[in-house]
Amino acid sequence: MARNVQVEPLRTVHIEDQAVELVERKGLGHPDSIADGVSESVSQALSRLYLDEFGKILHHNTDETQVVGGASEPKFGGGKVTKPIYVLLVGRATTEVNGEKLPIHDTAIEAARRYIGSVCSHVNLDHDFEFDSKIGSGSVDLRGVFDQKAVLSNDTSFGVGFAPLSDTERLVLESERFLTLKLKKKMPALGEDVKVMGYRAGDRIRLTVAAALVDRAIQNGTEYRAICDEIGEKLADQAAKLTHREVAIDVNTADDPELGRYYLTVTGCSMEAGDDGSVGRGNRANGLITPCRPMSLEASAGKNPVNHVGKIYNLLGNLIAQDIVKETGGNVKEVHVRILSQIGKPVDEPQVASLQILPADGVKLAQVKPIAESVANTWLGQIDQIPKLLLTGKLTVF
């Protein structure tokens, strides 16, 4: 099949050679990440329901979750949540098939509860949260597009991706993962609401880390500060394995012991006390916020994985970029991918798949162009694998 895959030189200074680089990751317990994670979990739960009942994923989009912060009174030795966190599930779904109503709301709320329980280890789901589903029936025109024999794009939209990750990007990503997936198992005082901001100036990187700590695991300010110092030391050890650059790490810089101000929480999450969260305000599809790289404002979490190009093309853009770097065997420094759909047209036939390539020193674009085109066409030809990769946990959206 002839697709419109365009390859051109990437005319930019390589990211590693730029003087300044900024990278951010909002951790799994950040309110925006919770909104993303809940939305995607609801989408996957509905997808499984549809597959079990009808053998295919039916129309749905659950990408409008809102997390409304509660209220709490944290204190050393243990405080309390005084107002629950409100989680509102919003979107559209196929709620009835052949006159049979489906348990959409029960399925969605159970998925949301299960996800939050799996991520936030210090919360009481029954006391600390209130769940509400306002998911309604999808519009007729979008269902009509979805029901075509060919999988047709639900929108005229674009997705972007790039590869490989820079030192700073990889450091920011792995630092958050280290804290929320590994270190918290050994450090009961560490919560899941972690944010890591990376700033590189030349060969020096500074990480600013905001880490919510759990009040009942800390007795006083001295112990609190010691834990922050330990977090910094552990991250420094981790950083040394990921980059040769000099790395400085600051933890919880907003603290002011003289005023009694600490990043102290009851649940390990800032949403307990007023911090709200919305889908699409956090990490992009590759898990990072990268103002020095191409980004899409599209929210990937919760969107239908079969025909919603705002989700599929952002995931696909990163997969294509990563495989181009891999398949060209070190002959490419940097790849940017941009894919544009047209509503009502097959999702595997975009208006354009634009590949911008910065070859390695001494390598001509013509040497890598055929490989890049082949990678793009291969992924577009197996675009139906995206839902399977998502449902089996082999692909993530934030």
Per-residue pLDDT of the chain (398 residues; tens, 9 = 90+): 779 999 999 999 999 999 999 999 999 999 999 999 999 999 999 999 999 998 899 999 999 999 999 999 999 999 999 999 999 999 999 998 888 889 999 999 999 999 999 999 999 999 999 999 999 986 444 455 456 678 999 999 999 999 999 999 999 999 999 999 999 999 999 999 999 999 999 999 999 999 999 999 999 999 999 999 999 999 999 999 999 999 999 999 999 999 999 999 999 999 999 899 999 999 999 999 999 999 999 999 999 999 999 999 999 999 999 999 999 999 999 999 999 999 999 999 999 999 999 999 999 999 999 999 999 999 999 999 999 999 999 999 99
Length of the chain: 398
Establish how many alpha carbons lie within 13 A of residue 381's alpha carbon, considering only the half-sphere containing its beta carbon. Answer: 10
pLDDT value at residue 356: 98
pLDDT value at residue 363: 97
Rounded alpha-carbon distances, angstroms, from residue 124 to 66, 127, 264: 19, 5, 17
The burial class, CB within 10 Å (0-12 / 13-18 / 19+), for 206 is middle
167-278 CATH fold: GMP Synthetase; Chain A, domain 3 (3.30.300)
pLDDT value at residue 148: 62
31-146 CATH fold: GMP Synthetase; Chain A, domain 3 (3.30.300)
pLDDT value at residue 98: 82
SS3 content of the chain, % helix, strand, coil (to 5): 35, 25, 35
pLDDT value at residue 140: 41
State the Cα–Cα distance between residues 195 and 27, nearest whole angstrom: 5
pLDDT value at residue 274: 86
Residue 75, SS3 per DSSP: coil
pLDDT value at residue 146: 56
CATH class of 5-13+155-166+285-391: alpha beta
pLDDT value at residue 142: 45
The encoded tokens of residue 24 equal 């951010």
User: What single string gives the DSSP state of each residue in 10-25?
Assistant: --S--GGGSSEEEEEE
pLDDT value at residue 147: 60
Q: Give me the residue label for tokens 């941009």.
A: 338
| Common-topology check for domains 5-13+155-166+285-391 and 167-278 | yes
pLDDT value at residue 137: 85
pLDDT value at residue 84: 98
Nearest to 212 by CA among 283, 107, 113, 123: 123
Domains of the chain: which residue ranges?
5-13+155-166+285-391, 31-146, 167-278
